[in-house]
Amino acid sequence: MSLKRKLRQISPDWLVNFYHLARGVVAATIYGFPARKLRVIGVTGTNGKTTTAHLITSVLQSGGRKVGLASTVDFQIGDKVIENNLKMTTVSPFLLQKLLSQMVKAGCEDAVIEVTSIGLDQHRLWGIPFQVAVFTNLTHDHLDYHQTMEKYRQTKEQLFAHRPALSVINIDDPASEYFLRHSANRTVTYSLKSNADLVGKKIYQRAGGTDFVLLARGHQASISIPMPGEFNVANALAAAGVGLGLGISLEEVVEGLRIAKPVPGRMEVIDCGQAFTAIVDYAHTPDALQKVYETIKPAVHGKMISVLGATGQRDKTKRPILGALAGRYADYVIVTNEDPYNEDPNTIIDEVATGVPRGRPLRGRYKVKKASEEEGDLSFKYKDNGEDIWWWRVPDRKDAIAKALTMARPQDVVLVTGKGAEKVMAVGDRLVPFSDRGVLEELLQKYQVS
């Protein structure tokens, strides 16, 4: 454990809070409060922040604005894009203020920032006046940090607490009532189910994206987005709400959504000419993982092979839930290492693995079969009334992906979740190079040649 982590554990809460606040104040002061020269849009929620932030950026650019972006996957300063390989969504206040300063120097008018609850709690966004606040959803996550869903929600509400010029809120989420209580100069609501300012209807899934009809208070428009899934329609509605709320025309909003680029690592298909489909996605919460499964499952004509794990030093209660979801939706499941940080990877794998057989739809009793020595470290094996073994424990992530690929047959889908476009794995206090996309491409090309 690092000295910094040890000091935080033994320090009183007030001192830790003062430390974070001081960092936020010093960072904003050093860089001269650059956010005051920008129109800042903050996007918060458990899931969908990255895609929503990218869609908002595309909509604003369609409206003729020069935009900066700080997201989980990348930073954008005008036309310049830099990968975010820090494994942080809301980065340190010093880096964030530096990025905002660079945006100002590059002539940006707007800044779109992904806002996390931990970033808010640790004052990383101090000194940034958010003119626009967006709420996507609130689901199970970060309870290791906040302890309760109520504290988690209340922390996210801080983004809305200072009367933004515009609030954009997903009223399909049960927590929306709390965010709606915060006053704003203008509030725009969106929904896939209810009456709202913006409603998505007639959703049609197609190869490479989704089509839907946007109903906007007496107006309607047909919209195409280059992303699959109803949850991405909700993200598009949030972006449309920001655009329309800021005075961008409906035509420009429609065009901005149409030309938006798919976000790396979000339902990203890795195609090296193989006869099956390989997909990587960042889903690492129960809600996000379920939505990914529900989107992919109807289009699978063969078997779905799911490779997943869970992050160390994060909410432990969600680990068996992730495993149960994999057991419920996938035909074959491979539980593996993800980002262990300072935890024992095998312990994390075991906790995810406990949920896998529980989630399997019952077709009879499960019988345990112990792995033989020559089968290696596949210590959890099950048979279902004589059917083939359907899930495995493979600690090495590259080996797990390789196993999934060797199992895949034409029309199958191999789904690798948890890391998305990340290019590093957090092991101890180090960031070790590792990319799900890179491993898939390497192995698929190798198998094609062989």
Q: pLDDT at residue 362 above 70?
A: no
Do the beta carbons of residue 35 and residue 79 sit within 8 Å?
Answer: no
Q: Does residue 422 register a pLDDT over 80?
A: yes
What pLDDT is attached to residue 376? 37
In this structure, the answer to whether residues 34 and 61 fall within a common structural domain is yes
Domains of the chain: total: 2
Instruction: Give the domain CATH number at 337.
Output: 3.90.190.20
- Per-residue pLDDT for 403 more than 50? yes
**Nearest CA to 414 among 375, 440, 377, 383?**
440
pLDDT band at 392 (very low <50, low <70, confident <90, very high): very high
In-domain check, residue 432: yes
- For residue 178, name the pLDDT band (cuts at 50, 70, 90): very high
- Which of 258, 286, 321 delimits the end of a domain? 258
Q: What is the Cα–Cα distance from 433 to 66, expressed in whole angstroms?
A: 33
Q: Residue 142's pLDDT is what?
A: 67
CB 297, CB 269: distance < 8 Å: no
Q: Is residue 263 part of a domain?
A: no
pLDDT of residue 147: 79
For position 252, which CATH number holds? 3.40.1190.10
Structure pTM? 0.88
CA nearest neighbour of 168 among 39, 35, 42, 36: 42
Whether residues 202 and 347 share a domain: the answer is no
Q: Which helix (H) or strand (E) holds 258?
A: helix 250-258
Q: Say how far apart CA 183 and CA 435 lie, in whole Å.
A: 43
Of 238, 258, 278, the residue at which a domain comes to its end is: 258
Q: DSSP assignment, residue 292? A: H
Same domain? For 209 and 335 the reply is no
Out of 227, 258, 289, pick the residue that ends a domain: 258
Separation between Cα atoms, residue 67 and residue 109, nearest integer Å: 6
Chain segment 329-356, per-residue pLDDT in tens? 999 999 999 999 999 999 999 999 999 9
Distance CA 158, CA 182 (A): 10
Q: Give the domain range for residue 352.
A: 268-449
Higher pLDDT, 12 or 222: 222
Q: What is the DSSP string of 311-367?
A: -TTS-GGGHHHHHHHHHHH-SEEEE-----BTS-HHHHHHHHHTTHHHHSPPSS-EE
pLDDT at 207: 73
Segment holding 210, helix H or strand E: strand 209-216
Per cent of the chain over pLDDT 90 is 82
pLDDT of residue 387: 53
Q: Look at residue 394 and give its three-state secondary structure.
A: coil
